[in-house]
Amino acid sequence: MTKRWLLYAVIGIGAVILYRLFFFETQKVAPVPRDYNEIVACDTLCVTMEYNDISLTEGTDSIEGFYLELIEAFAQDHDLVLKVTPEMSMAKRLQGLYEGLYDLIADGIPIMTGRDDSLLFSLPITRSNQILVQRKPLTAEDSAKYISSQVMLAGKTLHIVEDSPAVLRINNLMEEIGDTIFVNTIEKYGVEQLIALVAHADIDYAVCDRRIAILAADSLPNIDISIPIGFTQFYSWGMRKESPILCDSINQWLERFMKSSEFRRLSKKYAVD
């Protein structure tokens, strides 16, 4: 009987220990939204950005990108270790930001996206607009499908990536032309993959950021990007409303850095406005 009670006691104590270890470990790793002071205290800035030619991409012998080099310069000037997490989905980038996994979305977010109530925006960093991606009329089939004006988009299906700001402009465009434009949202691909689908005739039309399309056109010479869909917008970094000091720190730094020769060099290197 004594041995049996001893066995029960050992099992009970073990269960309690395992529960406490699991519970406290879970508590320890749970992310907590931070502002600049907490970031400095742990010496690490956690950012996320899309994998594309403007933000983050593979160079000849390293990882590069306009926004990557820009946030690297900020981290270096503030003695911070930079932790970058590529994420193709804007919805997942926002979710990670709100949950505290990331301190900053460090690729360009159009300021007029309908998210103004949930995000703090940095100073405008670049500007661009949405354009139509289609194939050049090099064949009879592509000539029949070629769009030469926005009015011809009536009844057509435009493909966009998930959470694309283009959807707002397309809705306005439907009102302007007085007809329906169908929109197909692609969840599993990014902008560059969408452009490639057009080039290889898997889809006929896509709408994406002009800057990314210009870079993609260098390797996909059969795509046409001459038809604008939206007006020029300013693009900024995004932070939580609970990070006002981080936002102020970034804005003060951007105000200085964007006047520097290094910023002009980066802008020229990646062909951004």
Give pLDDT, residue 30: 54
Give pLDDT, residue 2: 52
Q: In 3D, which of 223, 192, 197 has the Cα closest to residue 208?
A: 192
Give pLDDT, residue 25: 42
Give pLDDT, residue 8: 45
Give pLDDT, residue 220: 94
List, run by run, the mean pLDDT of 10-residue segments along the chain (273 residues).
48 50 46 88 95 81 90 97 92 92 92 68 93 95 94 95 84 92 88 93 94 89 93 91 96 97 93 82
Q: If you write DSSP's letter for every residue of 119-144 in order, what string do you get?
A: EEE-S--EEE-EEEEEE-S-SHHHHH
Q: Which two tokens stand for residue 109?
A: 């977010």
Give pLDDT, residue 31: 62
Give pLDDT, residue 249: 97
Give pLDDT, residue 60: 67
3-state DSSP call for residue 22? helix
Give pLDDT, residue 205: 97
pTM, entire model: 0.77
3-state DSSP call for residue 84? strand
Phi–psi pair at 90, nearest 5 degrees? -65, -35
Give pLDDT, residue 116: 54
- Sketch out the chain's domains with CATH numbers: 36-128+234-269 (3.40.190.10), 130-228 (3.40.190.10)
Q: Which two tokens stand for residue 156?
A: 């057509």
Give pLDDT, residue 263: 96
Query: Rounded distance, CA 83 to CA 60, Å?
Result: 22
Give pLDDT, residue 202: 95
Query: Rounded distance, CA 38 to CA 21, Å?
Result: 26
Q: In 3D, which of 273, 236, 258, 262 has the Cα closest to residue 119?
A: 236
Query: Rounded distance, CA 198 to CA 190, Å?
Result: 13
